[in-house]
Amino acid sequence: MTRVLIIGLGVAGLATLAQLLESKTRSITVDACEVKDEPWTFISCGELVPDPSFLSRYVPKHVKEVLEVSHKFITENTKIVNRFSRIVLRILDREYEFRFGAYLIDKSRLIRNVYERFSAYLNRRIKTPVMHLLHNCEKGTTRVCFHSPSEPTGEYDYIVAADGFESSVYMYEHRKFLIRRDYLHLNCAAFRARIRDLHRDTIYIIVDPSLAPGGYAWIFPRGDDEANCGLGVHPRYGLSLPLQVENLLKKYNVGPRRNVVGKVLPLDGTVKPYTFFHGKLMYVGDAGGFVIPTSGAGINTAIYTGLKAAEAVLEGSSFSSKVKLLADYIDKLAEFRKPIDPLLTREDALRSVMRRVSGRLIALLAYYLMLGSSKPLHRLMFMIAGKVARVREEPEPEADLQ
């Protein structure tokens, strides 16, 4: 009997659960450990998912597969709430419009539906976090202790760490925090708000260092008079998230807010390595850093890596080789994202580049970054922009007083 423990039941963990249990393989038992009573509560997310038929033109073939596989999982398990055909990029006080195919989902509904379909087949549901992992190299199994003394210790053949970011499994495993001083991540706040003058088929992204230093704010209309809104702020520059939420509401004429939830978004690339114990411990979704660093999108990648972890268990094959191309793509985008940071954190630098290089060009660059484009011309643009941003980061020369 193969024993599997899934730690965390967000979209990533539930994708693993669904795939393992759907296979109806009798020789597999699945335990799940989840800290929330109901995994679909307190969801903090923009809930925006790109339309694969639109985005596929810009991304490599293997990322197209990620989009298609996760799109199938989403549409099989929940309804689409709203569809978008355009994106408006507001950079400081200017607006630029582009085509963008995407849709909005109800993520908590997706999680609830998958959980309700499969939870009855779980061997054990543990409602307390993991406390300790001890790998037995000879047997190839891992002994796991849980925080509550009432939960008996378990012995597992595979562990799927799907406990989001920053993964506590990672901390137990390495005895250190993943976030170092230079680790690129955003502190985010997400909430629902009423909208007035915005188009319902349009995504709004706001790049404004005074509002969301180091990140951006978003407004994703839900198709009625509400929108999913939020902002992500670099921790080094973040003032107070509640204050910045109020600024967003005032500046963009968005109505009273509800359900403000905070969460950290990893943008530094994948956790290396993302498998341990010869592939017996796998990090999926946010726990493995599988988030597109240039847009903050992680729903597709969480579902995909969750499904691939299940496939690796069922086939007894390697998880690393299944997600390697995706990981390489994410890590490459992280390299492009980092040098551009000074433009997102300093209004003077952004204004100066927009004046010198043209606002439209900067907007186009931001657009291609949002798409995660891998077209050679766009990559060249990212590299040049990175250099320009770096130059601006250097201290200004002293004024000549003569």
Give contact residues for ligand FAD (rule: CB under 6 A).
7-13, 33-36, 39, 44-49, 129-130, 162-164, 168, 188, 190, 230, 263, 265, 285-287, 291, 296-299, 302
Least Å distance between CB 166 and ligand FAD? 9
Nearer to ligand FAD, 45 or 212 (CB): 45
Least Å distance between CB 357 and ligand FAD? 29
Nearer to ligand FAD, 71 or 90 (CB): 71
Q: Read off the tokens for 345.
A: 């954190």
Residue found by looking up tokens 């404004």 in the block: 208
Least Å distance between CB 303 and ligand FAD? 8
Least Å distance between CB 300 and ligand FAD? 6
Which residue has the CB atom at the shortest distance from ligand FAD? Answer: 298
Distance between CA atoms of residues 330 and 217, nearest Å: 22
Which ranges in 240-358 belong to alpha helices (H)?
241-251, 299-315, 319-345, 347-357
Least Å distance between CB 380 and ligand FAD? 26
Nearer to ligand FAD, 63 or 385 (CB): 63
Nearer to ligand FAD, 291 or 385 (CB): 291
Nearer to ligand FAD, 131 or 314 (CB): 131
Residues 6+ apart with CB under 8 A from 159: 4, 5, 7, 133, 142, 144, 169, 280, 281, 282
Nearer to ligand FAD, 13 or 209 (CB): 13
Least Å distance between CB 74 and ligand FAD? 10
Query: 60, 109, 56, 37: which is closest to 80 by C-alpha?
Result: 109
| Range 108-144 burial, b when 16+ CB lie within 10 A, else e | bbbbbbbbeebbeebeeebeebbeebebeeeeebbeb
The answer to whether 4 and 298 have CB atoms below 8 angstroms apart is no
